[in-house]
Amino acid sequence: MNKPLKQHLIDPEICIRCYTCEMTCPVGAIEHDDNNVVVDATKCNFCMDCIPVCPTGSIDEWRVVETPYSLEQQYEFEELPDQQEIETAAPSEGSDEVADPIAALLAEAHQGAGGKARAPISAAKAAVNMYNLGKPARMTVQGNYRLTDDPDHDVRHIILDPGALPFPVLEGQSVGIIPPGKDAEGNAHLPRLYSISSPRDGERPGYHNISLTVKREDGGLASNYLCNLAQGDTVNVTGPFGATFLMPNDTKARLLMICTGTGSAPMRAFTMQRQRSNATAQMTMFFGARTPDSLPYFGPLKKIPEAQMKQHLVFSRTGDKEYVQDRMVAEEEAVADLLADENTYIYICGLKGMEEGVELALTSISESIGQQWTALRDVMREEGRYHVETY
């Protein structure tokens, strides 16, 4: 019998195929085919560099195995295999061997990991990975609308029509966009990830289409390609991806949404879906942008009644420089009330940089109600009530 080994794997159901891990791995242990992203057990040295860069946590998976799963096996995974039962010889009396070496290996593998992301219990089941690099969905552009008046800040609302192709989506999922052409080495470009900003049944109820919220980045290959699309153009799309950053179907659930810039895309989808359902609980949003002119969906947001959503739109480049986390602290009582409620679901989406500030704000707000934030966060994550997607 082989000595049990710890193996690093990636959860194909949760992975959004952004390939950041592959680009980060210093020893080239991560690779992909048209379908999956996988880890070569002969190369992975557990340096953990890939763990913090993963936007979904799908990278943080470990199994103890006698024979590591091969690359070929991992490419075939549709979901991760369960931990196998592994027979271990009981340590001989008086030996100082660890009583349960497998548990010890797994515990070691999970050191420092923040717990596994889970979908809300009442979320609908997401379809994932229906279209891939080898077989993308070809969608037609139905519209491309500018959302921002700020001349230096071009953010677009782009509507894509899959036509007769089945493309079921849930709010919070992402798609990959394959920019046309080849890179400097002559390889096809990898897809770039965008959150879907429309609800499950389309831009208008019953319409089979999806929308994206795209900011034009200086020199950005995919963002410039998308922002320049005209009605009738066609686009190669992979996905849908993501099975945890989903909204609860429970109409009594309270949603606390914290976002910056285009991180508002999933929040728009959540909000529209709640408006179309008979949801009763009020939503709360902290949304940070530079100015009102650069805040995507500013007009439509202003029309949402306060009974449906309490909005905190904060601006970093008008008068007082204010970030979402500053306003959260200023609204300590309201946020604490949400944190204390088991019906509350937190969603954080936007700039990676805001994560630290938001965590600090949540730490101090939790303390105000005698709770330790990291403990509360672990419980919320375990219950599918805490979700972060930053980039």
Please give the Cα distance from 112 to 321 (Å, whole number): 34
Of 237, 159, 162, the C-alpha closest to 204 is 159
Q: Is 265 in the site for ligand A2P (CB under 6 A)?
A: no
Q: How many CB atoms lie within 10 A of CB 91?
A: 13
317 is in an annotated binding site: yes
Q: Is 267 in the site for ligand A2P (CB under 6 A)?
A: no
Do residues 65 and 22 make contact, with C-beta atoms less than 8 angstroms apart? no
**Does 290 engage in binding with ligand A2P (CB under 6 A)?**
yes
Q: How far is CA 137 from CA 145, 207, 210, in A?
A: 22, 17, 12
In whole angstroms, how close is the CB of 257 to ligand A2P at the nearest point? 14
| Least distance (Å) between residue 355 CB and ligand A2P | 8
Q: Which stretch binds ligand A2P (CB under 6 A): 24-32, 103-111, 112-120, 348-356?
A: 348-356
Contact call for residue 266 and ligand A2P (CB under 6 A): no
Q: How far is the CB of 347 from ligand A2P (least distance, A)?
A: 15
Q: Is 380 helix (H, G, I), strand (E, B) or coil?
A: helix
Query: Which of 210, 324, 376, 388 is the binder for ligand A2P (CB under 6 A)?
Result: 324
Binding residue for ligand A2P, selected from 36, 223, 294, 371, defined by CB under 6 A: 294
CB of residue 390 to ligand A2P, shortest distance in Å: 10
- Transcribe 174-226 into DSSP letters: EEEEE-SSB-TTSPBPPPEEEEB-S-TTTTTTT---EEEEEEPPTT-HHHHHH
Q: Does 351 bind ligand A2P (CB under 6 A)?
A: yes
260 is an interface residue for ligand A2P by CB under 6 A: yes
Q: How far is the CB of 289 from ligand A2P (least distance, A)?
A: 5
Sole binder of ligand A2P in the list 12, 162, 242, 261 (CB under 6 A): 261
352 annotated as ligand-binding: no
258 sits near ligand A2P (criterion: CB under 6 A): no
Nearest-CA neighbor of 210 among 172, 250, 264?
A: 172
Answer positive or negative: Cα dihedral of 56, 60, 65, 71.
Answer: positive
Closest distance of CB 265 from ligand A2P, Å: 12
The nearest distance, CB 318 to ligand A2P, in angstroms, is 10
| 3-state secondary structure (DSSP) of residue 14 | coil
Q: 39: Cβ–Cβ under 8 A, 6 or more apart, which residues?
A: 7, 8, 9, 10, 29, 30, 74
- Cα–Cα distances in Å, from 53 out to 179, 264, 321? 23, 21, 28
Question: Is position 361 an interface residue for ligand A2P (rule: CB under 6 A)?
Answer: no
Pairing of strands 137-146, 234-241: antiparallel
Please choose, from the candidates 245, 186, 218, 219, the residue with its C-alpha nearest in 3D space to the C-alpha of residue 54: 245
Q: Which of 266, 288, 336, 377 binds ligand A2P (CB under 6 A)?
A: 288
Distance between CA atoms of 258 and 247, rounded to whole angstroms?
Answer: 14
Interface residue with ligand A2P among 15, 59, 257, 289 (CB under 6 A) is 289
Q: Minimal CB distance to ligand A2P: which residue? A: 261
Q: Which stretch binds ligand A2P (CB under 6 A): 158-166, 221-229, 234-242, 322-330?
A: 322-330
Q: Which stretches of the chain bind ligand A2P, using CB under 6 A? A: 260-261, 288-290, 294, 316-317, 323-325, 351, 353-354, 357
Instruction: Please report, in range form, the residues annotated as the binding site.
Output: 195, 215, 262, 316-317, 321, 350-351, 389
